[in-house]
Structure 1
Amino acid sequence: MDDDELQTEHGGAGGQGSRGERGRSDHDGSLSPAPLPSRSSAPLHPSAQRVADAAAGLGLTIDIVTFTEPTRTAEQAAAAIGCEVGQIVKSLVFTVGGAPVMALVSGANQLDTRKLAALFSVGRKQVERADADTVRGATGYAIGGVPPFGHATAMTVYVDEDLMSYDVIWAAAGTPNTVFPITPADLLRASGGQARDLKTG
């Protein structure tokens, strides 16, 4: 997901509840059920199917959920899924020195471009938010549904270390109203990303 719409930061930052709610492990190790209202039974959109195929190519089987309401922002996605905003993965595309890079950021956080710049050993002015054409060209998907892997081009990927504290997180699946759950470990492996401190503050 993005911000203004999953690229853009899958939504803006939202309130973050206590960690241990829906989508978290109970004390016995079982996963608490997360309600999934307004699910669509229609066949997968072609873009979502591409994400499923990309996951399969990486050895992952993902359960893509299609909602009847939009999940463009982190808040919308969390409300539809029934999870914490922090469990939403915002797929953000920036350019660093003109080259596209991806930051996968918790829905509860805002990305600090100074920290992203430091990871590339450049000044903050070298880091810019990618426009819609650049996002589509780099990822193969439109803003609002950019997944964390299966992109049209290879990009350096950094992952917000705060996502690592959850058992299950949720990412966009190619369209503004499709998402899928994934473990942080699988997210790192599938995206080829590195966990880093990316948030402001």
Structure 2
Amino acid sequence: MAGHEEVGYGADMSTEHQSVTRFREELTRRGGQGEVRVLPESVHTAALAAQALGCEVGAIANSLLFDADGAPVLVLTSGAHRVNTELVARRIGVSSLRRATPEFVREHTGQVIGGVSPMAHPAPVPTYLDPWLARHEVVWAAAGHPAALFATTYAELLAMTGATPVEVE
């Protein structure tokens, strides 16, 4: 993959959102090689992201933060899948997984729903990765803001996040 592409909001690079800047720094620190792309508009769903990038929805890695009895759990899943929370809770050994509130997401990731990246959080978050993403040569994930995404591979994402593979359906 190509190196980091310097893309900001419009022509003025000084307007890049601070969460994207923090993400770029963390991506570099972890040895990520993929392009960071900031789109003109937010893409809050995998379908919108896939349409904007010209890829299959299954190649979008959704970063979904769950509340496991007050503790954060991050599940990186293919945009083609819905997370079966009961099944995943059993597989990862927690009593339950509930969708996190926007406040919980911001507290534990420093980012907003729709832009949660797989890393660059204030503190480590237990992370699980949908093996289905390995079917795609290039995987796109959020880069800290709903309009920012980065290209990676399943293997690179697994290595950079220290995630545990888990079937989500």
Q: Please say whether Structure 1 and Structure 2 have the same fold, judged by a TM-score greater than 0.5.
A: yes
Unaligned runs of 5+ in 2: 2-8
**1:119 matched to 2:91:** yes
Q: Specify which of 59, 62, 66 is matched with residue 94 of structure 1.
A: 66
* Number of equivalences: 160
**1:150 matched to 2:120:** yes
TM-score when scaled to structure 1? Answer: 0.75
TM-score when scaled to structure 2? Answer: 0.88
Report the alpha carbon displacement of residue 103 of structure 1 after superposing the two structures with TM: 0.2
Task: Please list, as runs of the form range in 1=range in 2, the aligned pairs for 1:30-179 lying within 5 A after superposition.
Answer: 40-43=10-13, 44-123=16-95, 126-179=96-149
* In 2: Cα distance, 1:49 partner to 1:95 partner: 26
Q: Identity across aligned pairs (percent)?
A: 36
Report the alpha carbon displacement of residue 69 of structure 1 after superposing the two structures with TM: 2.4
Between structure 1 and structure 2, the one with the greater Rg is 1
Report the alpha carbon displacement of residue 40 of structure 1 after superposing the two structures with TM: 4.1
RMSD over aligned Cα atoms: 1.6
Report the alpha carbon displacement of residue 132 of structure 1 after superposing the two structures with TM: 0.7
Unaligned runs of 5+ in 1: 1-30, 32-38
8 Å Cα contact 1:40-1:66 kept in structure 2: no
CA deviations 1:79-117 (Å, max 9, x no partner) are 000000000011000111221110001001000112221
* In 2: Cα distance, 1:194 partner to 1:146 partner: 18
* Residues 170/119 of structure 1: CA separation in 2 closer, same or farther (3 Å cut): same
Name segments (4+ residues, structure 1) moved above 2 Å. Answer: 39-42, 119-123
* In 2: Cα distance, 1:65 partner to 1:152 partner: 23
Higher percent of residues as helix: 2
Is the partner of 1:117 in helix, strand or coil? helix
Is the partner of 1:133 in helix, strand or coil? helix
* In 1: Cα distance, 2:151 partner to 2:94 partner: 34
* In 1: Cα distance, 2:140 partner to 2:29 partner: 19
